[in-house]
Amino acid sequence: MKKIILTGDRPTGRLHVGHYVGSLKRRVELQNSGEYDKVNIMIADAQALTDNADNPEKVRQNIIEVALDYMSCGLDPNKSTIFIQSQISELCELSFYYMNLVTVARLQRNPTVKTEIKMRNFEASIPVGFFTYPISQASDITAFDATTVPAGEDQMPMIEQTREIVRRFNSIYGEALVEPDILLPSNQACLRLPGTDGKAKMSKSLGNCIYLSDDSDTLRKKIMSMYTDPDHLKVSDPGKIEGNTVFTYLDAFSKPEQFERYLPEYAGLDELKAHYQKGGLGDVKVKKFLFSVLEEELEPIRAKRKELEKDIPYIYEVLKKGSDDARQTAAQTLSRVKNAMKINYFDDAELIRAQSEKYKAE
């Protein structure tokens, strides 16, 4: 079986380091590994509109931001198909049929949707489109026959929902759809990177992000005001590592050789943690180290972005070409789905033949 990737992001803002460690960095590695037959990267504008219906300009303006972030990180249009969801109308058609395979109760149980409804204060007025976005996500994934979805932990219930739809579809209509697997980050700290405020998830909607495009000064300021251990008041106090965002970020980003470069007095992260727990290590020193670590990772991305920003029409060309390509693939899947569902009346010579026989016989 072919190995195919589908993954993407909502154009509701620039991409942040949570996206980077949760999915983006992995995508670039997989793209360059040559192990995949196809890599599809989707800018999910239609999904973004499900909770931004009254703010289309936000979605429209952020398409280019996401595309620039993608290509700054190394997603390469010669190796990956980068496209815009709304341009692939076949995806809506698939959703319309998949909706028959999912119950309202099942959608209500989806833990990610539950959390997001709370976060957006939607309790009493959930837009139907938002409520059903897990179904639309199943269409995105299956339209490309994706086997692999590199994503953060928050996407697990979505992929599970997709797998259920695939199994139900295939059992009713015959094997037409591919069941995907989620590919989670291997580093525990990257499954769900917390925000700079210590909240459970760095998220555009929560305003607790370090953006890939933040300049050096902004990065320094954000790190210096980051949440650590609220009880670690004096340098000599023993400090907590658990729930201490600065250490979680070091788990996510630091490399052993960076200790030699910036903190040669420590053999590695374990030793730094032990010192902090014992007392005698101040937050500022750890934060300065984190700044150096992140600066190393983000500086090349920033520089690449500056280059790409010089030719915006080219980025739109890339997106148009990607969308044309994606549309062809999705159309093939839709046709397969309609054949399986027997809504292919005009292509089914056998249907017409059998019915004419029947009426002749009467």
Residues at the interface with ligand ATP (CB under 6 A): 9-10, 12, 18-19, 22-23, 151-152, 154-155, 192-193, 201-205
The tokens of 288 are what? Answer: 């300065």
For residue 162, give the nearest of 184, 172, 177 by alpha carbon.
177
- Residue 110's contacts (CB-CB under 8 Å, 6 or more residues apart) are 134, 157, 158, 161
Q: Which is nearer to ligand ATP, 28 or 281 (CB)?
A: 28
What is the SS3 assignment for 181?
strand
Q: Which is nearer to ligand ATP, 9 or 214 (CB)?
A: 9
Angle at 37 between CA 36 and CA 42, to 5 degrees: 80
Q: Please state the closest distance from residue 73 (CB atom) to ligand ATP, in A.
A: 12
Q: Which is nearer to ligand ATP, 244 or 276 (CB)?
A: 244
d(CA 311, CA 69): 14
Helices (H), 52-98: 56-73, 90-98
Q: Please state the closest distance from residue 13 (CB atom) to ligand ATP, in A.
A: 7
Q: Please state the closest distance from residue 23 (CB atom) to ligand ATP, in A.
A: 4
Instruction: Classify residue 190 by its DSSP letter.
Output: G
Q: Which is nearer to ligand ATP, 44 or 263 (CB)?
A: 44
d(CA 164, CA 362): 43
Q: Which is nearer to ligand ATP, 76 or 153 (CB)?
A: 153
Q: Which is nearer to ligand ATP, 27 or 232 (CB)?
A: 27
Q: Which is nearer to ligand ATP, 67 or 151 (CB)?
A: 151
Spatial contact of 39 and 3, defined as CB atoms under 8 Å apart: no
Give residue number: closest CB to ligand ATP. 22
Q: Please state the closest distance from residue 252 (CB atom) to ligand ATP, in A.
A: 9
Q: Please state the closest distance from residue 76 (CB atom) to ligand ATP, in A.
A: 19
Residue 42's alpha-carbon distances to 79, 205, 215, 236, in angstroms, are 14, 20, 26, 49
What is the SS3 assignment for 149?
strand
For residue 48, give the nearest of 205, 160, 180, 210 by alpha carbon.
205
Q: Please state the closest distance from residue 30 (CB atom) to ligand ATP, in A.
A: 13
Residue 155's alpha-carbon distances to 152, 199, 245, in angstroms, are 6, 18, 22
Q: Which is nearer to ligand ATP, 95 or 155 (CB)?
A: 155
Q: Please state the closest distance from residue 18 (CB atom) to ligand ATP, in A.
A: 3
Q: Please state the closest distance from residue 306 (CB atom) to ligand ATP, in A.
A: 23
